[in-house]
């Protein structure tokens, strides 16, 4: 089979590119390794199911059994992802010039890719090839962990309707904290083991401390400075062995959640056969236009080592489409003020520099910060019954430029987009402070918080 475009992996950027060129009449082949992954990581094993589970937890009646509610919630998310998966498949399969092939792809050379499924084999040649294979969970190299029947990855966690009663989460970064928040919301006994001195090391200490207190109040236990040495146990329970300040400790749990992040999925692609180079971290090496060491081969999404967000994969699509059919000007360097959200409850949303990063960069900094409970001009938080968290803005002392923000509050996953847009458009802190916002809303908190700027 020959194609104008071959896309390996059904993720956000790849499927959008395949659809765009398919609608232009180009011959497109989309290869996906699993029929359970049409649409990519986000809708099947990432953003959609985890956020659906978190939302469902907040709707549990007080008299509803958490375990039963969890099982029902998993059933709900399974149906939801099945619906979205089918819609994604039909989105491409309905296009006459697009062929969806289910199987495992590996390069034969820089123009030829072999796809296998059982005993079946298909060879595809293509003028343009896009690698969009995403990322896979990282399992820490801890003796006994990989072999433990109690090990769970994010994929395992959202697939089973059985809520573990006692859980150890290995890692206090964004992924670990989101898992911990999810499990605690269903009343699982959750312990986070973090090797550093505190959780959320990329955040300012005051922001991380506020997030930690919220989770402690929800029942999460944190052990920092913990070095996990091995995982043992039996078929009934896991025993996690760890050391803190030279002291030896054990923790008996029903499940061990590995939260060490995700690594680019390149292991089975035989990229060396195509002459495609990898970075030291194992990602596909790309330039600012997402071209690999072979100019007709692109890599988009998590596999290229960039930020692991669905919306970054979508922007990757725009860059590659501009290379193929546009003027070739769009680049990864165009990205400014890209926001992110950690979906605990309430969410922690971030954009730009932290205070520590700004000071380390030599910027003169002023800070505007206030606990949500102390913000009079944010009745929205009281209306929905959640006044936890804080808002913090980092501002250039000379120019009034917004350098960054951390919003730990109700609606922060939406608020942060407004801040990011302001940063991209050059709106100053004073401009955001004096803007007119609807009432009662969460956005109007900006009026009050940004009036507290101190040097």
pLDDT digits (tens, 9 = 90+) for 201-238: 999 999 999 999 999 999 999 999 999 999 999 999 99
Please check whether the two domains, 2-137+262-334 and 151-258, share a CATH topology.
yes
CATH of domain 2-137+262-334: 3.50.50.60
Residue 397 tokens read as 């002392």
CB-neighbour burial class of residue 335 (10 A; exposed 0-12, middle 13-18, buried 19+) = middle
Tell me the CATH class for 151-258.
alpha beta
In the annotation, is 296 catalytic?
no
pLDDT digits (tens, 9 = 90+) for 77-103: 999 999 999 999 999 999 999 999 999
pLDDT digits (tens, 9 = 90+) for 256-297: 999 999 999 999 999 999 999 999 999 999 999 999 999 999
Query: Residue 232: helix, strand or coil by DSSP?
Result: strand
Fold of 340-452: Enolase-like; domain 1 (3.30.390)
Q: Is the pTM of this model over 0.85?
A: yes
pLDDT digits (tens, 9 = 90+) for 173-210: 999 999 999 999 999 999 999 999 999 999 999 999 99
Residue 69 CA to residue 128 CA, distance in Å, equals: 47
Compute the average pLDDT of residues 383-407.
Answer: 97
If phi over 0 gives left and psi between -120 and 50 gives alpha, with beta otherwise, what is residue 164?
beta
pLDDT of residue 378: 95
User: If we measure between CA atoms, which residue out of 290, 297, 337, 293 comes closest to residue 318?
Assistant: 290
Kindly name the residue from 2, 249, 296, 439 that is annotated as catalytic.
439
Residue 210 CA to residue 352 CA, distance in Å, equals: 19
pLDDT of residue 159: 86
User: Where are the domains positioned within the chain?
Assistant: 2-137+262-334, 151-258, 340-452
Compute the average pLDDT of residues 232-252.
Answer: 96
């Amino acid at each position: 089979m020959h194609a104008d475009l071959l896309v390996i992996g059904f993720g956000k950027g790849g499927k959008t590119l395949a659809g765009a060129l398919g609608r232009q009449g180009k011959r497109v082949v989309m290869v996906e390794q699993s029929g359970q992954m049409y649409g990519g990581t986000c809708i099947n094993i990432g953003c959609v199911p985890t956020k659906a589970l978190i939302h469902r937890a907040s709707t549990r009646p007080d008299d509803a059994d958490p375990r039963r509610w969890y099982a029902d919630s998993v059933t709900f998310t399974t149906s939801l992802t099945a619906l979205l998966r089918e819609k994604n498949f039909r989105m491409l399969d309905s296009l006459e010039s697009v062929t969806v092939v289910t199987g495992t792809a590996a390069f034969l050379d820089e123009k030829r890719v072999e796809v296998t499924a059982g005993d079946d084999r298909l060879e595809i040649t293509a003028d343009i090839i896009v690698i969009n294979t995403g990322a896979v969970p990282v399992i820490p190299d801890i003796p006994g962990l990989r072999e433990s029947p109690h090990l769970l990855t994010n994929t395992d966690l959202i697939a089973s309707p059985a809520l573990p009663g006692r859980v150890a989460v290995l890692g206090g970064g964004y992924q670990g904290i989101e898992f911990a928040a999810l499990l605690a919301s269903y009343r699982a006994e959750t312990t986070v083991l973090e090797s550093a001195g505190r959780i959320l090391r990329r955040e300012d200490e005051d922001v991380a401390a506020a997030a930690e207190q919220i989770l402690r109040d929800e029942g999460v236990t944190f052990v920092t400075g913990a070095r996990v040495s091995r995982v043992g146990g039996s078929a009934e329970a896991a025993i996690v062995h760890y050391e803190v300040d030279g002291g030896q400790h054990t923790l008996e749990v029903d499940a061990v959640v590995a939260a060490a992040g995700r690594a680019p999925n390149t292991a089975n692609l035989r990229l060396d056969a195509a002459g495609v180079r990898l970075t030291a971290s194992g990602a596909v090496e790309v330039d600012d236009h997402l071209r690999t060491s072979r100019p007709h081969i692109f890599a988009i999404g998590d596999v290229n080592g960039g930020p692991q967000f669905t919306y970054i994969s979508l922007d990757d699509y725009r860059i590659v489409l501009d290379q193929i059919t546009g003027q070739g000007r769009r680049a990864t360097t165009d990205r400014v003020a890209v926001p992110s959200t950690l979906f605990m409850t309430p969410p922690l949303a971030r954009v730009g520099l932290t205070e520590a990063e700004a000071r380390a960069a030599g910027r003169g900094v002023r800070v505007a910060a206030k606990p949500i409970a102390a913000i009079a001009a944010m009745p929205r938080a009281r209306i929905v019954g959640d006044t936890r968290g804080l808002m913090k803005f980092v501002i250039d002392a000379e120019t009034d430029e917004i350098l960054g923000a951390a919003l730990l509050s109700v609606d922060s996953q939406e608020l942060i987009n407004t801040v990011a847009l302001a940063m991209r458009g050059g709106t100053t802190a004073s401009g955001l402070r004096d803007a007119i916002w609807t009432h009662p809303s969460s956005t109007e908190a900006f009026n009050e918080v940004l009036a507290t700027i101190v040097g």
